[in-house]
Amino acid sequence: MEPTTGAPVDAVPRRVPVRQQSRRHRDARRTDGAPPADDDSAFWAPIEQVHWDGTPVREDAAAERERGSGPSGRRSPARTPRPPDPLPSLTALVLLSLVVAFFAWVSAGPFWLAVGHARVGTVVVDACTGAGLNKRCRGIFTADDGRFVAHGVRVSGVPAGRDAPGTSLPARMTGPDAGTAYADTGLARHLRWLPGLLVVLGCAAGIARWTGSTRLPGRRHRRWAVAAALAGPALITLGFLAAAW
């Protein structure tokens, strides 16, 4: 093999002409009486400056290959992408988990009352403070079956005009260890747990979104990550429901 061009030694001449005269040009010179041109008088470039077919080597292409900017040059190694900052994801996870814990706590008792797990009885209002949404009432709850009496429980859903001390109201509690007696009736009993659990579901979706679980490559890894993100709020809610039973 020829070391410069890579072609077989017998197939490549030592010198290759860059420019040759055409037969028409040679015939015209013979007609004019001029001596025929010698084929050896043509310019022969060194083999290092031409390709195997006689075309000259371009210096700019060689320069580009040396600089590595041409198509055949060596590309610079790609930079390793920086890993994402975990601080925003951790902040969103902690804050949303705290919101989930709060709304699961305030919705657990009303949820059990709405599904029928309750002790029916009567609460006697002791005192009320504030007005409107800031009204806070305390009283004594007595179960209708006489199994327990709860003193100093918080009374929720006291109707307007019936907050005077000594007023008796029908109420329900989840058990003797519960700290709240609910005097709500009708649709109001469902409004105490439904919005809270909807907020819990929204926070679970936010955890899956802002922690990057929904953007992981691969369907299998993405499903496991989303399931883990939703399992956290679900476990917190189940824990408060178990405590309020």
Q: How many residues does the chain have?
A: 245
Residue where one domain finishes, among candidates 67, 95, 110: 67
What is the predicted pLDDT for the residue at 53?
A: 67
User: By CB neighbour count within 10 A (0-12 exposed, 13-18 middle, 19+ buried), where does 28 fall?
Assistant: exposed
Where do we find the tokens 């919005």? 195
210 shares its domain with 105: yes
165 shares its domain with 224: yes
What is the predicted pLDDT for the residue at 101?
A: 95
∠198-199-203 over CA atoms, to 5°? 120
58 shares its domain with 160: no
What is the predicted pLDDT for the residue at 116?
A: 81
Q: Please indicate, yes or no, if residue 4 is contained in any of the structural domains.
A: no
Where do we find the tokens 């072609």? 7
State phi, psi for 4 to the nearest 5 degrees.
-85, -45
What is the predicted pLDDT for the residue at 74?
A: 55
61 shares its domain with 93: no
Domain total for the chain?
2
Mind listing the pLDDT tens digit of every residue in the chain (245 residues)?
Answer: 656 666 666 655 555 454 444 455 555 555 555 555 444 455 666 766 776 666 776 665 545 555 555 454 455 556 666 666 778 888 999 999 999 999 999 898 889 888 888 888 999 999 888 877 788 899 999 998 888 899 889 998 888 888 888 889 999 988 888 888 888 877 777 888 899 999 999 999 999 999 888 888 888 888 999 999 999 999 999 999 998 88
What is the predicted pLDDT for the residue at 18?
A: 47
Q: Which residue from 130, 149, 131, 148 is spatially nearest to 140, judged by alpha carbons?
A: 149
Residue 105, amino acid: W
226 shares its domain with 154: yes
∠150-151-153 over CA atoms, to 5°? 85
What is the predicted pLDDT for the residue at 237?
A: 94
Residue 227, amino acid: A
Question: Domain residues for 38?
Answer: 9-67
90 shares its domain with 186: yes
Q: Please indicate, yes or no, if residue 77 is contained in any of the structural domains.
A: no
Residue 113: which residues within 8 A CB-CB, separation 6 or more? 172, 174, 182, 189
Residue 173: which residues within 8 A CB-CB, separation 6 or more? 118, 119, 121, 141, 143, 150, 153, 180, 181, 182
What is the predicted pLDDT for the residue at 218?
A: 85
Q: Please indicate, yes or no, if residue 1 is contained in any of the structural domains.
A: no
Residue 43 to residue 29: CA distance in whole angstroms: 19
Residue 125 to residue 151: CA distance in whole angstroms: 11
Q: Give the C-alpha distances (Å, rounded to integers) separating 168 from 130, 141, 176, 179, 189.
A: 19, 10, 19, 18, 19
